[in-house]
Structure 1
Amino acid sequence: MMDFDIENGSSPTPPPQKASVKKYGVVEPISYAGPTEADIHRNAMLEKLLRDSGVYEGEEETARREEVLRRLDQIIKDWVKLLTRQKGYVETMVEEANGIVRTFGSYRLGVHGPNADIDTLCIGPSYVTREHDFFVILHDILFEMEEVSDLQPVDDAHVPVMKFKFQGVSIDLLYASVSLRIVPEDLDISHNSVLYNIDEKTVRSLNGCRVADQILKLVPNVENFRTTLRCLKFWAKRRGVYSNVMGFLGGVNWALLVAQVCQLYPNALPSMLVSRFFRVYTHWRWPNPVMLCPIEEDDLGFNVWDPRKWARDRTHLMPIITPAYPCMNSSYNVSASTLRVIVEQFHFGNKVCEDIELNKANWSALFEPCLFFESYKNYLQVDIVAADAGNLLSWRGWVESRLRLLTLKIERDTGGMLQCHPFPNKYVDTSKPCSHCAYFMGLQRQPGVKVQENQQFDIRGTVDGFKQEVNNYAHWRPGMDIFLSHVRRRELPSYIFPQGYRRQRSLRRTPTKTSNGDAQESGSPSSERRSRRKHDDAPTVDTGPGRLKKQASVSPQKPQIVGPVIQDLTSESPIAPKVVMESEDGTNTESEYSHQDQVHVIELGINNLNF
């Protein structure tokens, strides 16, 4: 066994005298206090808000999911019997051959919402392989079924998965081949013996179920845990911090964070747990790990998370450790950028909950959406296009999985002086004839750092390297492309706004000054070009292959640059565009470029220019 010091900034209150209290976590609870009348009232208001917000699914959808799982289980059993016969086993073996389906994730934890996908694990015998039997034979069986749509195998993922819809219900199906000739219907996968003689991909596939089962065993009150987790997942999505693939936190991360708070306050209602959640993690001293139980060693030989032993584990910024052997850091995707945003949102939640407890606010204030597009003056727009919806589905998944690396590289290549805030929501321009979606990143200089005059952030090399890496996609098809654009807040495309239009100030033409100093509406070519950049629908010409790559840099001098800054995907102009950088005081700095090549430059510090 291994243990780590955990500091959460709070002193535990002693349990009631002469009481036998069960210890759930690795530390003693902070408080054993139960709810007051005010807590009970606040809890009723919170649960009403959750119901009114539609986080619970209806009985009809619940029944449909159960029927889909029954059908899927039968398909798996028939598939295993078919393979057993094809591989030449005797008929008695064919009759006993079996495969089973288990659920994990939000469905297994009992916190799934309407239209959520179901995370499922198919467990098969030792002679049924992942590479051919699962990703080829089973894939072809599903492909021929009328009930199945949007079938997408992802065999090269960290955890290989087959994604599809069955009767309209989204399914993520993993596969694990265990060291058994016959898989019993009541197989206990929580026992470590199930891990004998299997590879690491199979271990990762099995651990989804093993972790979910352990979480439910390690919380004091399952129903209070479920309500609290529903609340925090809803909050995280509203505040833009729910996405494991983008470097924020996904479902299992939020479940583990909530489970620890349940352990620290075993008698608290969900309303109390939500408030304590923000209190605990606002003061948490990262990278101290979050753990629900001690880390377990085993003679099976799989690596477990241990920063004293493994150098890579020492680089983890927000370790949230899974409770099932082999214990892993579930939040290894979190970067300095996303950790900063997550902690900021914890502070926001803590302040609102303090106001709620003082009757200065109600629960709806906690779930106000993040005003991402009002938070920055500069953004990086990532447009993803493909020939059709099917190609876009797989292409988008690949690009999305690489975006967190782009944020890491931008911050690394600028010495941490340019900070990125990736936003996990995707946006679609329905007016475009091609299949399209876009993601956005907020850009700002590091707060508190003095800006040198004429300092620039040149990220051309970083962006070009990212595009090269993304275009190495193994399943690339003609029509798949990616465009990266630096856009100012006032130039953001209208389709990202709920009403479908920009705020009025974004549509005004930029005023210029006459020779006598009076401001007037510009009718100059530069303003016309800015207008074309906002409204033209044709894509820009992308950087061609074989170009000389330039490394990203931070320079105090303004370099001589040839080529326009990359434009918005919806812009094209035969006239050389201008780069207009907006400073905090609203002034603009312009520089002219020729239309020979695309570069990616974000200027900073000119005339005290400030992100």
Structure 2
Amino acid sequence: MLTRKSKSKLNKRATRTRQWESVSTVGHVSSTRKLEKLMEEVAGFYETGEEAVRREEVVGRLNQLVKTWVKKVTEEKGYNAEMVEQVNAVIFTIGSCRLGVNDPGSDLDLLCVGPTHVTRYEDFFGEFHRMLAELPEVQELNPVPMARVPVMRFKFNGVPIDLLYANLELTTIPEDLDLSVPSLFQTWDLDEENEENLRSLNSCRVTDKILHMVPNIQNFRTALRCIRYWAKQRGVYSNVLGFLGGINWAILVARICQFNPNALPSWLVSRFFEVYSQWQWPKPVMLCPTDESSLELLSYWRDVMPIITPVYPCTNSSYNVSWSTLCRMQEEFQRGNQICEAMERYKTGWSPLFKPFLFFEAYENYLQIDITARNDDDLIKWKGWIESRLRLLILNIERDSEDILQCVPHPRNFTDKSKRLHSYYFMGLRRKLGVCAWKGEQFDIRYTIEEFKNRVEMYYTSRKQPGMEINVYRIEVNNIPLFVFPNGVRPKRSKNLMNQKRKGDDNLHTLN
């Protein structure tokens, strides 16, 4: 039995707890308002009403085009007039647009779902490609049929489009098709074609599942917008180059929302960095318990940063991540956590979290990848192919240096106004942190580079046109070309940054 004195102590403790929770809640409301205000002040962070209308018009126009296309294909394949009249295809928004976090200038990700007799390679990358090529509204048309998720990339009235295709075992596609119904595809044999279909369909299904599994959609969206902006500012937003893309970041944020169902966005952002700065990769991130028999090829455990999709068949959405890019992201998680802790302690603002990463000052050695072609169309196709292969160069450098060298890509490409039909990518080179440099130790990666170039050209032989070339050079930080810097002006190098680099770059000047 509690004494009167014990009861008094418990009551005082409970009162202090309620007061702390009240202060904490007020603090989080204030911090969230500051965070939202900062995001509103970022130029181009939110889509305007005019841009939203323009996007909807593009989706509507493409929806009309795919309906015309499937009718044409159906007629050419000899189906009767009634079938031609009834056949249909439907466009779904996917990615950031479907999540409700799209920003101006971002790609518009779309999925076209067609009937069983309209195929991906013959019809979508054949007839539909030809139809798009004839339209004046379409620019920079670039089909990528060999990608893990085949995609048609182009601009429609200036709006960048990534269009996927999947066909279902239906003679026509209803306008109100619900892709969450498992019976649509659970009876499929998972051959190569059906696996590609499922990956395309899952781009829509995963998004819907995420929104269904978060406890508060608005708080999730606000937190995700902040993390997406942070990732772009810090140079770690690019699925194709080995970082994370939109759906990866969405799953990571959604998991934090599940951990903290009543938390406001500012708390979610802080917890995001706290949790992932301590996460023991390759322990997978999952939004729900998963039957391992449904995991695609049961291979996620071989990946370095598994982020598992929550719908059948469960796959690792971050299969492109390498040890180099994982280490880079871990550094950013640590930095973000330190800033958030300091913000809690000293009541500082959010601005330091979003300070841009100075990629071209961060390393002593770089690789410069120079891509050239004879005309704009060839450059778009050739650049797209090489970009999809750059991850192999990173993996090969890690392999041939026995994981001592790290190769960190810049997430975007560059152009030099003085040289037409050239496109450039850059990668920072450094020694793995914590690995001591032996005196005179050298790394000769010339063979690694030549092997990469040969493989890129070999697999593109049937489509390679005269003038399509790729060259890879090692350059030092002082020789970075001026066109990568704002206004073409090289900034002065920070002494602190130079000292930090030397810890991981000792003796890398001897790199061949």
- The reply to whether TM is greater than 0.5 is yes
2:184 aligned residue (194, 210, 214)? 194
1:417 aligned residue (394, 399, 404)? 404
Q: What is residue 438 of structure 2 aligned with on the other side?
A: 452
Measured in 2, the distance between the counterparts of 1:602 and 1:390 equals 38
Q: How does 1:323-334 map to 2 (within 5 A)?
A: 323-334=310-321
Q: How does 1:22-41 map to 2 (within 5 A)?
A: 36-41=25-30
CA distances 1:73-115 after superposition (whole Å, capped 9, x unpaired): 1111122222222222222222221111111101111111002
Question: 1 or 2, which has the higher helix percentage?
Answer: 2
Q: What is residue 16 of structure 2 aligned with on the other side?
A: none
Any conservation in 2 of the 1:457–1:602 contact (CA below 8 Å)? no
Measured in 1, the distance between the counterparts of 2:493 and 2:28 equals 44
Q: What is residue 270 of structure 2 aligned with on the other side?
A: 275
Gaps of 5+ in 1: 1-31, 507-582, 590-600, 606-611
Any conservation in 1 of the 2:361–2:493 contact (CA below 8 Å)? no
Measured in 2, the distance between the counterparts of 1:294 and 1:502 equals 50
Any conservation in 2 of the 1:383–1:484 contact (CA below 8 Å)? yes
Residue 498 of structure 1: how far off its partner (Å) = 1.2
Measured in 2, the distance between the counterparts of 1:98 and 1:313 equals 36
Q: How does 1:105-144 map to 2 (within 5 A)?
A: 105-144=95-134
Shift in alpha-carbon separation, 1:94–1:466, aligned structure 2, 3 A: same
Q: What is residue 525 of structure 1 aligned with on the other side?
A: none
Measured in 2, the distance between the counterparts of 1:33 and 1:322 equals 37
Measured in 2, the distance between the counterparts of 1:393 and 1:63 equals 28
Shift in alpha-carbon separation, 1:77–1:505, aligned structure 2, 3 A: closer
Any conservation in 1 of the 2:364–2:509 contact (CA below 8 Å)? no
Any conservation in 1 of the 2:93–2:204 contact (CA below 8 Å)? yes
Measured in 1, the distance between the counterparts of 2:292 and 2:342 equals 44
* AA aligned opposite 1:322: T
SS of the aligned residue for 2:306 comes to: coil
SS of the aligned residue for 1:456 comes to: coil
| Number of residue pairs the alignment of both structures matches | 476
Measured in 2, the distance between the counterparts of 1:86 and 1:401 equals 34
Any conservation in 1 of the 2:367–2:427 contact (CA below 8 Å)? yes
Identity of aligned residues (%): 52
Any conservation in 1 of the 2:444–2:511 contact (CA below 8 Å)? no
Any conservation in 2 of the 1:105–1:119 contact (CA below 8 Å)? yes
CA distances 1:124-161 after superposition (whole Å, capped 9, x unpaired): 11111111121111111222222222211111111111
Shift in alpha-carbon separation, 1:297–1:407, aligned structure 2, 3 A: closer
CA distances 1:409-449 after superposition (whole Å, capped 9, x unpaired): 112111122222222132221112x3112222222223333
TM-score normalised by length of structure 2: 0.88
Any conservation in 2 of the 1:296–1:326 contact (CA below 8 Å)? no
Q: What is residue 593 of structure 1 aligned with on the other side?
A: none
Residue 406 of structure 1: how far off its partner (Å) = 1.0
SS of the aligned residue for 2:425 comes to: strand
Residue 584 of structure 1: how far off its partner (Å) = 5.3
2:201 aligned residue (197, 206, 221)? 206
Measured in 1, the distance between the counterparts of 2:99 and 2:22 equals 26
* AA aligned opposite 2:450: D
Q: Does 1:44 align with 2:4?
A: no
* AA aligned opposite 1:370: F
Shift in alpha-carbon separation, 1:149–1:252, aligned structure 2, 3 A: same
Shift in alpha-carbon separation, 1:392–1:38, aligned structure 2, 3 A: same
Q: Does 1:467 align with 2:467?
A: no
Measured in 2, the distance between the counterparts of 1:82 and 1:399 equals 34
Shift in alpha-carbon separation, 1:449–1:167, aligned structure 2, 3 A: closer
Residue 451 of structure 1: how far off its partner (Å) = 2.8
Q: What is residue 304 of structure 1 aligned with on the other side?
A: 295
CA distances 1:53-84 after superposition (whole Å, capped 9, x unpaired): 12111000101111111111111112222222
* AA aligned opposite 1:235: W
Q: What is residue 381 of structure 1 aligned with on the other side?
A: 368
Q: How does 1:315-464 map to 2 (within 5 A)?
A: 315-432=302-419, 434-464=420-450
Any conservation in 2 of the 1:33–1:268 contact (CA below 8 Å)? no
SS of the aligned residue for 2:413 comes to: strand
Shift in alpha-carbon separation, 1:37–1:171, aligned structure 2, 3 A: same
SS of the aligned residue for 1:38 comes to: helix
* AA aligned opposite 2:476: R
Q: CA RMSD in A?
A: 2.4
* AA aligned opposite 2:354: F
2:253 aligned residue (245, 253, 258)? 258
SS of the aligned residue for 1:289 comes to: coil
Any conservation in 1 of the 2:284–2:307 contact (CA below 8 Å)? yes
SS of the aligned residue for 1:199 comes to: helix
Measured in 2, the distance between the counterparts of 1:287 and 1:296 equals 18
* AA aligned opposite 2:295: V
Q: What is residue 55 of structure 1 aligned with on the other side?
A: 45
* AA aligned opposite 1:133: D
1:145 aligned residue (110, 129, 135)? 135
Q: What is residue 485 of structure 2 aligned with on the other side?
A: 497
Residue 216 of structure 1: how far off its partner (Å) = 0.7
Residue 450 of structure 1: how far off its partner (Å) = 3.3
1:163 aligned residue (140, 153, 159)? 153
Measured in 1, the distance between the counterparts of 2:98 and 2:210 equals 10
Residue 314 of structure 1: how far off its partner (Å) = 2.6
Shift in alpha-carbon separation, 1:135–1:361, aligned structure 2, 3 A: same
Any conservation in 2 of the 1:40–1:269 contact (CA below 8 Å)? yes
